[in-house]
Each structure stands twice: as structure tokens, then as C-alpha cells.
């Protein structure tokens, strides 16, 4: 059953190959067949070479070589020696060159497929709906792209090498069979018995360990991510031993299983080497007995050379088959990710959006894992140029509402209109993608990449396409220019991982500059200043006051005073729009 499952999984992966990869696979298979044919001819020519060396008084006849050379080399003895020797040299050079070329082509092909698959998996993850990412642990995603995809590529590469080694082994055995049927048959039976015995045991071990490794890898990665991501808390609370101990537990288990797999794979080499030496000794006795005490050196030497060529191929067959068994569950995980891949179209249209308002009509939302609505029949409008506040306790639904405005979540019921266009209609994907261009989100934890001001403000735009004049203008509008100009490297100063070299207020200003660079019409400040001190928060909102009217602001906040700059404040309670307040009514509202 395992055999069928593995090859079925491999066939399914081929469905995700690009057209050019499929053509390259056909070319690779053709190379393998040609290579096998040359190995067959080389083995047959080996017998002729040893025969002219050991029986100079007899002209050698080789039925297999007759098919390729006819009777051209059955001339005088000297001509035969030169012909056989020269032909043998040419065949060895061609065969060796073909195997090297085939190895290089197969290796590069496997890695190119690896890039294709990693990109496809990354695309699949990025194209999932926001709900998917809420429930998905990032360590699972990274584990899939870094480990499970690599494991799948190892399986595909192993399959190529398995086919190559099988073809070569069969061609060598076929050549030996044309020399002596009985010895070849007995050798095949004995070697197959050894393989079957080892494989019966190892198959169970490999499949079990494969399943366990797929489950263990994300845990190891999780403790690395959490330990480094919360390094301040780790140092402050002396949690180093906690993370080290957990990492060590999973890493040790992983490596123990990998070591067991490696031992089983490596042991076959020594078993086969010893077995083939015993087989050669048996062969000497067999030939000696059947030739009345005379050992046919040419046949014996040919079988010895064949064994020397056959042994690496057989070891490769076992090793590659073992790889396939070990990577079974990584293949399953990879195919599950590919099966979720969505072909999303990000086409936008040249359309003048948001001339009047955003309106909500009987808006409801329920999370897939919940039985209750988090938003209940909301009906209200936000007008262009307004500064709207949204207030409510944790769990009231205000963040969910904001995520619907940003189209990260799709309403369970109801509609959202921008002017007269229903954004979430299935036929309106072009409008939805165009609407997203109008939005910019400023959360509490701003994402800052480990690069400079330019790349962080023009986030996601290729460096060569950045408009430096615009970068400087939006930095000035965000009141960030004086700080940047005072730095030695100015706009090309590295900000550190997560903006570690910046204050909270500076990170918020970068987010606002980023929004201005993108020409966003609506800026959503989602608890953006809740972690800032009062002085810095006032500076940020003085900046918002200057931009107010030119842009539309939606401000989500806990602090009542924060919303004093708003034109209207929506109070959300238990998913309902409880009240719409004016700034002078805030004194009657409590957090």
C-alpha cells in the first residue's frame, strides 16, 4: 500500500509542474534511457575486451555486439584487438560523459522545480483569505516552505535518481544475462532477497519517522521564533532555560529519528559489499566446477566489473527509495497546500472612487469558528473628508468592523457600498482591488522592515522605482524630515529589525508617511497611539489635525480624549451601534 501511495503522490505533484518543466522531464527520461543503453553496450564490450586479452588464439563472437557492429570486427586477430580496445575506450568516455551530464541536468532540474514549488506554496499562503491567516500559526507556514517543500523536492529528485539507477541496473543485468543466464538469475534472486528483507523492516521505520518529523518540525521552529521574538521578556523574566529546554527536547527527538534513518540507509552499503564479495567467491567456484577445473577469467572479470558498476546503482536504488518513504508525509503536506492555491486576480481599474461616502446596510459578521454574530445589523455612513472615531470595549466588534472596511473580512450578511458600488459583490473584484488602493492602515504595532527609511516609506515598491522627491515631501508632511536629516546617512539609515532603532512616535510617523506616499484617501488608525505616552500621542494627533479634511480618517481608540478631534464618534457595544456621538458629548462617555 505504501508503494502505491508514494507513486500516486508523486504523480499528483507532476500536475503542478510548469509546461517547460514537463518537457525537461521528458528530455531527462530520454537521457536516462540512452545512458542505460550505453551501459549495456559497455558491459558486453567488457567481455570482448577481456576475451581478446585471455584467449588471443580465438576470435570472440558476441551476439549482442553483432546487433550494433555486424561482422566488421571479425577480421584478423590484431584488427580485432585494436577494434575492441578502441571501441571500449570510446564507449567508456561516452558513457561517463552521459552520466555526468545526466547527473548535472537532473540536479539542476530538481532545484528549479524546488524554486517553482516554493513560489507556488508562498503564493498559496499569501492568496489565502484573512480568516485563514488568523487561525494559522506562522511557524507552520515557515515549516512548510522551508522544510516540507524541500522534503518534497528531495522526494522528486530521489525519484529521478531511482529511475536512473533502475534503468542502469536493469541494463547491466541484461548484459550479464546475455553472457550467462544461470549465474545472473541466481545473483538477482539472492540480491533481491537481501533487499526485500531489509526493506520490510526499514519501510515501517521510515514511514513512522516521516509522519513524526512533519509534526515535530513546527514545534522546534516555534520555540526559536518565540524565544527571539520575545527576547526582552525572555531576558527580563529569565526564561532562557524554558525556551532552551523545549527547543532541545524537540530538536533531540528530530535528530534521533534522522540518525536512525541514516543508519538504516548507510548499513545497506556494507551489507551489499560483503554479500557481493561472497557472491564473486561463489561465482569462481561455480565457473571452476562447470569448466572442469578451468576458470573462465573473461567471464569472471566481466562479472566483477559489472558488480563494481552495479553496487553503487543498487545502493542508490535503496537510498532513493528510503528517501521516498521518509518524505511521504512532507509530500502530503505540500499537496494539501497546493490544493488550496487560489488564482487571485489583482487587476484594478482607472476609476474615481470615493467621491461621497462609505455606507453599511444591515451589516453582520460571524467568525467561522463562532456561533454568534460579532456585528449585528449595522447601518451607518462615513462621508468623504470626515474624521470618524470608533470606541468600544475589547470584544465589542470595533476591530472586526475596521477589517471589513479594509475588505480583509467579508460580511456574513449585508452590504458595504462605496458611493453606489457594492464592494463585496462577486462580480466586483476589480472594484474591490481598486478600493484597497485608497486605504492605508496604521496599527499599534507598525511593521518596519530591516532596511532604510526610503524602503520603509515606499514599502513594497522596487528601489529603482522610488520617487525620492515624493519621499522627502511625505516625510515633511509626516513631520519626520528633521529627524531624518539629522542622521549621518539620512534617508538611507538602517532602522533595525522591527524598527528597533526608532521610538514609538517615529514608527507611527513612518506609517503615516507610508500612507501619504501611497496616495491613500482613507487612513485607519487602529489603536495606533495606545502604547505611546500622552505627549507623543498629542504630537501624532496634531499631525492628523493638519491632514484632516484632505483625507478621511477612521480612528479606533480606548482613550476618550483621543477622539476629541473627530467629527463623529460611533460607540459600538456587543456588536451593535449603540450611539453616534459628537465631540462635545464625550464627557458623558466612559471607557
Q: Is 60 exposed, middle or buried (0-12, 13-18, 19+ CB in 10 A)?
A: middle
Residue 585: name the closest of 399, 567, 557 by CA: 567
Phi, psi of 524 (to 5 degrees): -105, 115
Q: What is the spatial distance between Cα 431 and Cα 435, in angstroms, rounded to a whole number?
A: 6
Is residue 590 a contact partner of residue 411, using CB atoms and an 8 Å limit? no
SS3 387: strand
Indicate the helix (H) or strand (E) that contains 121.
helix 77-126
Phi first, then psi: what are they for 153, rounded to 5°? -65, -40
Per-residue cell: 91:
564507449
**DSSP, res 583:** G
Q: Is 523 in a helix, a strand, or coil?
A: strand
Query: What nine digits make up the cell of 475?
Result: 516625510
The span from the CA of 172 to the CA of 189, in Å, is 15
Nearest to 443 by CA among 418, 406, 472, 410: 406
Q: At what angle do helices 534-547 and 504-517 cross, to 10 degrees?
A: 20
Of 336, 6, 333, 335, which Cα lies nearest the Cα of 159? 6
The torsion of the CA quartet 147, 149, 152, 153, rounded to 10 degrees, works out to -100
Asked if 218 contacts 337 with a C-beta cutoff of 8 angstroms, the reply is no
- Residues β-bridged to residue 416: 360
Instruction: Say how far apart CA 179 and CA 188 lie, in whole Å.
Output: 14
3-state secondary structure 172-209: HHHHHHHHCHHHHHHHHHHHHHHHHHHHHHHHHHHHHH
Tell me the longest C-alpha to C-alpha distance in the chain. Answer: 119
Closest CA to 508 of 464, 465, 549, 555: 555
CA 588 – CA 567 distance, rounded (Å): 16
Sheet with 413-418: strands ordered across: 375-383, 357-365, 413-418, 421-422
Q: How far apart are CA 208 and CA 552, in angstroms?
A: 57
- Closest alpha carbon to 177 in 188, 168, 163, 167: 188
Distance from C-alpha of 513 to C-alpha of 472, rounded to nearest angstrom? 9
pTM metric for this prediction = 0.63
Q: pLDDT 10s digit of each residue in the chain, 591 long?
A: 444 477 777 888 888 888 888 898 889 888 888 888 887 777 777 776 666 666 655 545 555 555 555 555 555 566 666 676 777 788 788 888 888 888 888 888 888 888 888 778 777 777 777 766 666 666 666 766 666 777 778 888 888 888 888 888 888 777 777 777 777 777 777 777 777 777 676 777 777 777 787 778 777 777 877 777 666 667 766 777 887 888 888 888 888 887 887 777 767 766 766 776 677 667 666 666 665 544 466 666 777 777 767 777 777 777 777 777 777 777 777 777 777 666 555 566 677 777 888 888 888 888 877 778 888 888 888 888 888 888 888 778 888 888 888 888 888 888 888 888 888 876 566 777 788 888 888 877 778 887 888 888 888 788 888 888 888 888 888 888 888 888 888 888 888 777 777 777 788 888 888 888 888 888 888 876 666 667 777 777 777 787 787 888 888 877 677 778 888 888 888 888 877 777 666 655 544
Contacts of range 69-75, beta carbons closer than 8 Å, 24 or more positions apart: none
194-207 burial code (b ≥16 CB/10 A, e <16):
bbeebbeebeebbb
C-alpha cell at position 49: 575486451
pLDDT reported for residue 473: 87
Alpha carbon distance, N-terminus to C-terminus of the chain: 63
Residue 438 CA, chain-centre distance (Å), reads 32
Distance CA 352, CA 36 (A): 65
Instruction: Please say whether the beta carbons of 416 and 401 come within 8 A.
Output: no
562: number of Cβ within 10 Å: 24
Q: What DSSP element (H or E) covers 153?
A: helix 149-179
Amino acid at each position: 500500500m505504501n508503494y502505491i501511495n508514494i507513486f500516486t503522490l508523486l504523480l499528483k505533484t507532476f500536475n503542478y509542474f510548469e509546461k517547460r518543466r514537463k518537457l525537461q522531464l521528458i528530455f531527462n527520461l530520454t537521457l536516462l534511457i540512452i545512458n542505460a543503453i550505453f551501459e549495456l553496450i559497455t558491459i558486453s564490450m567488457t567481455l570482448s575486451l577481456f576475451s581478446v586479452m585471455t584467449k588471443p588464439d580465438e576470435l570472440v563472437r558476441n551476439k549482442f555486439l553483432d546487433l550494433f557492429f555486424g561482422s566488421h570486427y571479425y577480421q584478423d586477430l590484431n584488427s580485432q584487438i585494436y577494434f575492441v580496445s578502441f571501441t571500449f575506450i570510446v564507449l567508456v568516455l561516452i558513457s561517463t560523459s552521459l552520466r555526468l551530464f545526466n547527473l548535472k541536468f537532473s540536479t539542476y532540474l530538481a532545484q528549479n522545480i524546488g524554486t517553482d514549488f516554493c513560489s507556488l506554496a508562498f503564493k498559496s499562503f499569501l492568496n489565502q483569505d484573512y480568516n485563514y491567516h488568523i487561525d494559522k500559526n506562522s511557524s507552520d507556514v515557515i515549516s512548510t516552505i522551508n522544510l516540507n517543500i524541500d522534503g518534497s523536492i528531495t522526494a522528486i529528485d530521489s525519484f529521478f535518481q531511482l529511475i536512473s539507477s533502475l534503468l542502469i541496473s536493469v541494463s547491466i543485468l541484461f548484459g550479464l544475462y546475455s553472457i550467462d543466464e544461470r549465474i545472473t538469475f541466481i545473483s538477482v534472486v539472492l540480491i533481491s532477497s537481501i533487499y526485500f528483507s531489509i526493506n520490510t523492516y526499514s519501510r515501517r521505520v521510515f514511514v513512522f519517522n516521516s509522519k513524526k518529523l512533519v509534526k515535530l518540525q513546527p514545534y522546534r521552529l516555534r520555540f526559536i521564533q518565540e524565544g527571539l521574538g520575545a527576547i526582552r521578556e525572555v531576558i527580563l523574566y529569565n526564561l532562557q532555560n524554558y525556551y532552551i529546554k523545549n527547543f532541545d527536547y524537540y530538536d533531540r527527538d528530530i535528530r534521533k529519528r534522522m540518525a536512525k534513518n541514516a543508519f538504516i540507509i548507510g548499513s545497506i552499503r556494507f551489507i551489499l559489499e560483503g554479500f557481493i564479495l561472497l557472491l564473486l567467491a561463489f561465482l569462481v567456484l561455480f565457473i571452476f566446477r562447470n569448466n572442469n577445473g578451468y576458470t573462465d577469467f573473461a567471464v569472471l572479470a566481466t562479472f566483477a566489473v559489472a558488480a563494481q558498476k552495479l553496487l553503487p546503482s543498487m545502493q542508490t536504488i535503496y537510498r532513493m527509495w528510503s528517501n521516498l518513504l521518509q518524505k511521504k508525509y512532507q509530500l502530503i503536506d505540500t499537496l494539501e497546500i497546493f490544493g488550496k492555491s487560489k488564482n487571485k486576480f489583482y487587476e484594478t481599474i482607472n476609476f474615481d472612487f470615493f467621491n461621497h461616502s462609505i455606507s453599511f446596510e444591515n451589516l453582520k459578521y460571524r467568525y467561522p469558528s463562532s456561533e454568534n454574530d460579532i456585528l449585528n445589523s449595522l447601518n451607518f455612513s462615513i462621508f468623504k473628508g470626515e474624521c470618524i472615531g470608533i470606541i468600544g470595549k475589547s470584544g465589542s466588534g470595533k476591530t472586526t468592523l475596521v477589517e471589513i472596511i479594509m475588505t480583509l473580512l467579508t460580511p456574513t450578511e449585508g452590504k458595504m457600498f462605496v458611493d453606489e458600488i457594492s464592494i463585496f459583490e462577486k462580480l466586483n473584484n476589480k472594484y474591490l482591488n481598486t478600493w484597497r488602493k485608497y486605504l492605508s492602515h496604521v496599527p499599534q504595532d507598525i511593521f518596519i522592515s530591516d532596511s532604510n527609511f526610503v524602503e520603509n516609506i515606499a514599502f513594497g515598491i522596487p528601489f529603482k522605482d522610488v520617487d525620492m522627491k515624493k519621499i522627502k515631501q511625505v516625510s515633511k508632511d509626516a513631520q519626520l524630515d528633521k529627524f531624518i536629516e539629522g542622521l549621518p546617512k539620512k534617508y538611507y539609515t538602517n532602522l533595525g529589525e522591527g524598527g528597533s532603532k526608532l521610538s514609538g512616535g517615529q514608527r507611527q510617523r513612518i506609517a503615516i508617511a507610508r500612507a501619504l506616499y501611497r496616495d491613500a484617501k482613507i487612513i485607519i488608525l487602529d489603536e495606533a497611539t495606545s502604547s505611546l505616552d500622552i505627549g507623543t500621542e498629542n504630537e501624532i494627533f496634531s499631525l492628523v489635525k493638519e491632514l484632516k479634511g484632505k483625507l478621511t480618517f477612521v480612528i479606533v481608540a480606548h482613550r476618550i480624549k483621543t477622539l476629541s478631534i473627530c467629527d463623529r464618534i460611533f460607540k459600538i457595544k456587543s456588536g451593535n451601534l449603540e450611539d453616534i456621538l459628537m465631540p462635545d458629548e464625550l464627557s458623558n462617555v466612559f471607557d
